[in-house]
Amino acid sequence: MNDKKIVEIKNLTKDYGAKGFRTKVLKGIDLTILDEDFIAIMGPSGSGKTTLLNILSSIDKPTQGTVILDGKDITHISNQGLSILRRDKIGFVFQDYNLLDTMTLQDNIALPLSLNGVSARECMEKTEDIARLFGLTDHLRKYPYQLSGGQKQRGAVCRALITEPKILFADEPTGALDSKSGKELLNCFMQVNERKHTAILMVTHDAFCASYAKDVYILKDGLMKCRLSRGESRGEFYDRIIDLQASMGEQSGDVSVSNVGGELS
């Protein structure tokens, strides 16, 4: 195997608050993400999931520790270098779609390429290619208000992937979707990971959503408590995630165990 390290974090800590009243959110996290990984981070509210995601995606900075992204330490890099790294190496999907209402879906998806000075022809070709993978070919000329929630979220993912980033960060990507749309999006994530070899790091409360990942890490009290790896059966993986949550005493109000996508297939 020639797996390449895309992200490597060592002894990552994050504190918030004034001196004497500081809260330690992350307490020494170590994690390596390879180029074909699809990782889900789960944990109760307040465990540090979003804080970790924000640091890895360069939105926030750690209190201590190092974050190496595609060979560069992003904790010691200029603002200009960080902007270039975000543009070329990182894709980000939020729970909200953040599409521009005044632009067609096609223009929304192509926007990052246009801003980078890519020719109109290449923008068109790449947009049509990724839209085909996400089942959006027939909707490219539509405006966001003409699309369903699932179509808008898949469009947002296409926009995040159009520059062919090394890693896609997803923060509760199915949180605003119905069960059918959520399942369609997760299947697209699997295809992108398998066909495009794009690494994915997804934060989620939902066990069904997490079962689409190759590995699930449980974050609790600022520490990585354990890791589960998927076998051949996603249904069996889902059951193991549920069992682990139960053994760790997770409450349904903290980590959802609802089947958002219907049957496990």
Q: For the segment 96-150, what is each residue's pLDDT rounded down to a tens digit?
A: 888 999 999 999 999 999 998 999 999 999 999 999 999 999 999 999 999 999 9
Q: Which two tokens stand for residue 189?
A: 């994530």
pTM of the model: 0.89
Cβ distance 141 to 174 under 8 Å? no
Non-local CB neighbours of 85 within 8 Å, separated by 6+ positions: 58, 69, 70, 72, 74, 77
Give pLDDT, residue 27.
94
Is residue 8 helix, strand or coil?
strand
What DSSP assignment string belongs to 27-92? EEEEEEEETT-EEEEE--TTSSHHHHHHHHTTSS--SEEEEEETTEETTS--HHHHHHHHHHHEEE
Helix axes 149-161, 105-115, angle to 10 degrees: 20
Q: Is the pLDDT of residue 201 over 80?
A: yes
**Comparing C-alpha atoms, which of 226, 261, 230, 260 is closest to residue 244?**
226
Mean pLDDT of 145-163: 95
Sheet holding 5-16, edge to edge: 23-34, 5-16, 64-69, 72-73
Cβ distance 152 to 96 under 8 Å? no
Percentage of residues in the chain having pLDDT higher than 70 = 93
Average pLDDT, rounded, for the chain: 89
